[in-house]
Amino acid sequence: MWNSLQIWLHAARPKTLAASLSPVLVGTAMAIEAGGGDALVAGCTFLSAALIQVGVNYHNDYTDYLQGADTEERTGPLRVTQAGLVAPDTMRRATIAVFVAAVATGGYLIYRGGLPILLIGIASIGTAIWYTAGPYSLAALGLADLAVFIFFGPVAVAGTYYVQVLACPPEVIVAGIAPGLFSVGILLVNNIRDLPNDRDAGKRTLVVRLGRRFGVRFYGICLFCAVLLPVGLVVWTGGHWWSLLTLGMLPFLVGAFRTVRQTSDPDRLNGLLATTGQLLALWSVLFSIGWNL
């Protein structure tokens, strides 16, 4: 039997935090290389990003239960609202509390970065709520992949860099494409696994609309383009050659793509979900180190 802390930690889905923290790491590393790194600002950004991600996960747990996407036939990890471990109203209140905490943490970032950071914060939380809210949610409309790419990629990296340096050169935005693509890959594995349940619940994800084969191919495209992106940055900037350390990840990508192509087993796809998050974290560490060498 789980205690309360274990239930809330599980609902927070800590394995998904790589999607929110990795772009902050990349933006911070690029800010440090530019001579504008700020430890306090970086810490507040990491905390605010993590809280927004937890809020997204709590809200998803709550709304998927209400809309019938989470049922006893669910093949993914246990969802605490559907399992009866947390009452729906309690999960709704927890979601609000976490988003309020994210806003409070981001207060200093808004003071530091001004209107651009305020707009990013409003858009991030608004998109998080819209993600699974009602029949016209991003997930229901098949637009979740685009939102994940934008907010866990270029926006997160550029926003992190801007709030520390108070400027944003175009190569920073381009660097954010890679974390965004990895995050889309995480979502694709989730939606490939949940394809039958999502179809039955009327949740029109991109995989439901275009099919499993499309989802598998798109997953491969996202991961390989992300790992190869530093090549373009090196050519563009004429430097930062050590960022090509990310190319060493190619054998791991081949294995991940082979898994999603060959299996429909939910347990193996759950493992691949975690693996894709680890690949995102690894790419971010290698790129961040390489960019500063």
The per-residue pLDDT for range 148-202, each reduced to its tens digit, is: 999 999 999 999 999 999 999 999 999 999 999 999 999 999 899 988 887 877 7
List the one residue out of 158, 208, 186, 164 whose CA is nearest residue 269.
186
The per-residue pLDDT for range 22-46, each reduced to its tens digit, is: 999 999 999 999 998 889 999 999 9
Residue 259's pLDDT is what?
Answer: 95
CA distances from 241 to 9, 89, 226, 279 (A): 39, 52, 16, 20
Cβ(88)–Cβ(100) under 8 Å? no
Cβ(26)–Cβ(175) under 8 Å? yes
**Which residues are CB-contacts of 34 (< 8 A; sequence separation ≥ 6)?**
161, 165
CA dist 245 and 177 (Å) reads 17
From the candidate CATH numbers 1.10.150, 3.40.50, 2.60.40, 1.10.600, the one assigned to the domain spanning 9-292? 1.10.600
Q: What is the pTM of this model?
A: 0.89
The per-residue pLDDT for range 192-205, each reduced to its tens digit, is: 998 888 787 777 88
Q: Over 70: is that where the pLDDT of 73 sits?
A: no
**Distance between start and end Cα atoms, the chain:** 48
Least confident of 44-58, 67-81, 87-101, 133-147: 67-81
DSSP state of 225: H
List the one residue out of 31, 55, 71 whose CA is nearest residue 176.
31
Per cent of the chain over pLDDT 90 is 52
In the structure encoding, which two tokens stand for residue 222, read together?
Answer: 């996202």
Least confident of 46-60, 64-78, 184-198: 64-78
Domain ranges (residues) in the chain = 9-292
Per cent of the chain over pLDDT 70 is 94
